[in-house]
Each structure stands twice: as C-alpha cells, then as structure tokens.
Amino acid sequence: MKKHEAGRRNAGELVRRFRQLTASSTWRQIDAIGLNFPTFHPQGLAKVNDEFYLSAVEIVEPTKKFADPQAGFDRTTGAGIGHLFHFDSSGNLKRETGLGEGSIYHPGGIDYDSDYLWVPVAEYRPHSRSIIYRVEPDTLKVDEIFRCNEHIGGLAHDRLHKTLHGISWGSRKFYAWHSLGNDAWRVGQDEPACRIYLNGSHYVDYQDCHFVDAGYMLCSGLKDFSLPHGGRMRLGGLDLVDLERHVAVHQVPVPLYSNTGRPMTQNPFWVELHGEHLRFYFVPDDHESTLYIYEVLP
C-alpha cells in the first residue's frame, strides 16, 4: 500500500491553517456517505489514501453502576466485542478484524503514522486496563505492543520523537510513553517509561486524537451540559494540543450536528489539508452511520 501523504506531507501548513480558525469560521458540507455495514458504536477514524479505518465497540452486555465502588471501580465490566473496520470511499466494508480479549473489549480513538494504525482497547470503565495494539493496514495484522493499568481512550503516535500519546477516560489525563533506540516499539514489550499530565482544558472531553505535526496533536470531543430549567446542551469542539507541555493552545467550537442531532465531534474524526482548505471527516452516529465530510474556512 502506498503510504498516506495527502494532508500529512504539509503537516506544518495544516497546523498553521487550524490556528486561523475561530468560532466564526465557515463550515461547508462536501458529502455525506452512508456506511453500508453495522458500525455499532464508532470510536476512532483514520484515512489511508482514499480508504478508511474505523474502530468500534459492539456492546453485548451493558456495564452496571455499583451502589458503592468495588475494588476501586464504579461499575461492572459488561461484555462486548472490539472491531476494526476497513471500508472504501463509497462506504462499502472491505475487511474487519476483532480486537481485545475478555473484559478488555472497548477500542478507542486511533491514529495512523504512515506505516501503522495505533489502536487502544480498554475495559469499558474508568481507571481500568488497556492493551495497545499496532495494526498493519494492508493485512489487518494485529500486534500487541504493551499493556497498561489505565483506561486509554485514544492514541496519537509521534514518529519523529518516538513517543506515543494517550488520553484517559474523559481525557482528564494525558499519557506519554517514551521508547528507546532505533527499534522504537517492540511486540509484547513491557510498558515503556511513561509521564502523566493533567488536562487543564475542561470544555470538551476528547474522543479521538491525531498527531498532526512535530509537537502537536489535534483532538475532537464534546461535553454534555445540564440546562437550569431541564434538558441538556451538547457542545462539540476541536483542540490543538502542545505535546511538550500537554496543554491546548488553540480551541475551536464545531457548531455542526448530524441528522440525529448528535454533535459532529461525537466520536471519530480525521483531518487533512485538501488544496487550500482543511477537510474534516466525521462519523458521529451509532449502528447506521454516515461519514460526513466538511471543509472549513477561517
């Protein structure tokens, strides 16, 4: 497979253009492509050339809250199946593979580094356990890289600095794993040295993140707010995160909603530089999903 270049080849330009966006920027829908397969609950999205990879969780048994925490957990593990789908630009499923084991069945946000897809799979509850996988797009060959005692909800891989960046449940913490030597990530290695940072940004919880340039990742997310007289308001947004300080340095609300009323940044997204514009891909809805494509002007 030819390595993905569009958008990432001019990563510095992508960051520069994102920094020009504001709450007044103009979003223009380019297309809406129905996905012709059951998507369950989508989590992460990556685009490789003209095709797509989507992580999703199929819930078999929902988790149940405990009346009081048990062994540090607020709910049961539930049961489910982790999926990684490969589909074409018309929304047709080409292949899929399963991910996880036992109670570790919830894939999170994914990233693509021009060689591999990076996929975290965790228990469906906070402060739990995760397996970090690396997947070959050509074959969907899955390799377990390491395990950690935390719910990792998304990954971004900085190939330039050989670091892997993760977000916790609700993205309240950032995790940065540092690999050593030229053989950056070995199959089945022990968890690498890790640094943990608190996320000082609270207006959205990140769902999916992507490395976009040396020192930056872009994250999408949403927040569900209670209104004083009943009802709820759901706000979506995008944050550019400085990976050295682990702080958001440019934040943009996304006032877009799917046909079901979900914020466009509900879960998976992808971004690339397309000509003179930033092009975004979103899959906000469960089960019968649509791939929404937008371009945005400052």
According to DSSP, residue 171 is labeled G
User: How many alpha carbons lie under 13 Å from residue 215 in its C-beta half-sphere?
Assistant: 7
* Mean pLDDT value of segment 126-133: 97
* Mean pLDDT value of segment 20-41: 98
pLDDT digit string, tens, across residues 191-248:
999 999 999 999 899 999 999 988 999 999 999 989 998 888 899 999 999 999 999 9
211/55 Cα distance (integer angstroms):
17
Range of the domain at 269: 11-297
- The CATH number of residue 49's host domain is 2.120.10
Does 4 score more than 70 pLDDT?
A: no
Say whether 271 sits in a helix, a strand or coil: strand
Does 170 score more than 50 pLDDT?
A: yes
pLDDT digit string, tens, across residues 236-286:
999 999 999 999 999 999 999 999 999 999 999 999 999 889 999 999 999
Q: What is the pLDDT of residue 254?
A: 97
Contact 153, 173 (CB under 8 A): no
The confidence band for 6, taking pLDDT boundaries of 50, 70 and 90, is very low
Intra-chain end-to-end CA distance of the chain, in Å: 34
According to DSSP, residue 257 is labeled B
Contact 100, 123 (CB under 8 A): no
Please count the structural domains in the chain: 1
The tokens 């990742």 sit on which residue? 217
> Does residue 1 belong to any structural domain of this protein?
no
- Percent of residues, the chain, with pLDDT higher than 90: 86
59 DSSP β-pair partners = 80
Q: What is the pLDDT of residue 2?
A: 43
58/105 Cα distance (integer angstroms):
9
pLDDT digit string, tens, across residues 38-67:
999 999 999 999 999 999 999 999 999 999
The confidence band for 10, taking pLDDT boundaries of 50, 70 and 90, is low
1 versus 139: which is more confidently predicted? 139
> Does residue 2 belong to any structural domain of this protein?
no
DSSP per-residue codes, 212-227: EETTEEEEEEEEEEE-
The tokens 């897809």 sit on which residue? 117
117/136 Cα distance (integer angstroms):
6
